[in-house]
Amino acid sequence: YQRRVRGTTFAPMVFRAVLFGAARHGGRRIPLVLTPALRRCMVTRVDLSDDEWRGKLSQQQYAILREKGTERPGTGELNGLYPTEGHFACAGCDSPLYSSASKFDSGCGWPAFDQCYENAVDTRIDSNFGMERIEIICAACDGHLGHVFGGEKFTTTNERHCVNSVSIKYVPESRPEPSNEGPILGRKR
């Protein structure tokens, strides 16, 4: 779909904005606002059927990543792992999510991170159990990672991504592409 706005075709303007961070219209620079739909376009999506996910994941991984379960605190094998190099990727689709440098010990019983790779993690409101929390999911496959909390002052980002060990895996190699990291709370959506 292309819409004409004062002699400018809208679709190429959006394409330029995605490539260069802004578009020009009538001599003015128009900043790009990344909506969730645009952000998903910038991530390689992994869309599998329920049967394909069941075949790919272990029973525990399926229960947590696809059915939004939670492992018991202190039981995850990645909880006490603090490597100096490498990154953590989604256990479902292998998309890089967190650098090793962003992992810290929060004492919560699950792996904790204070920031994520840009466009790697999305948020949703989780209203289960009579409370409202912010769920974090893999932006590529929508796999449930855990929840994000703010205002606890554990780190300078003032954010704690509380992630199920089963939802992620450690990759000893550095992330191959440029890896901008930052907090997710307060990010314009």
- Please tell me the predicted confidence (pLDDT) of residue 44: 82
**Distance (Å, whole) CA 62 – CA 50:** 10
- Please tell me the predicted confidence (pLDDT) of residue 31: 56
- Please tell me the predicted confidence (pLDDT) of residue 160: 96
- The one catalytic residue among 116, 138, 141, 162: 162
Query: Residue 186: what are its φ and ψ, rounded to 5°?
Result: 85, -5
- Please tell me the predicted confidence (pLDDT) of residue 17: 46
- Please tell me the predicted confidence (pLDDT) of residue 129: 79
- Other beta carbons within 10 angstroms of residue 177's beta carbon come to 8
- Catalytic site residue 162? yes
- Please tell me the predicted confidence (pLDDT) of residue 2: 40
* Sign, Cα dihedral of 111, 112, 117, 122: positive
Query: Residue 171: what are its φ and ψ, rounded to 5°?
Result: -120, 115
> Largest Cα–Cα distance in the chain?
60
**Distance (Å, whole) CA 4 – CA 171:** 47
3-state secondary structure of 90: strand
Q: Spell out, as residue ranges, where the chain has pLDDT lower than 70.
A: 1-42, 176, 178, 187-189
Q: Choose among 143, 139, 162: nearest CA to 62.
A: 143
- Please tell me the predicted confidence (pLDDT) of residue 5: 41
Query: In the numeric block, which tokens belong to residue 129?
Result: 């159990």
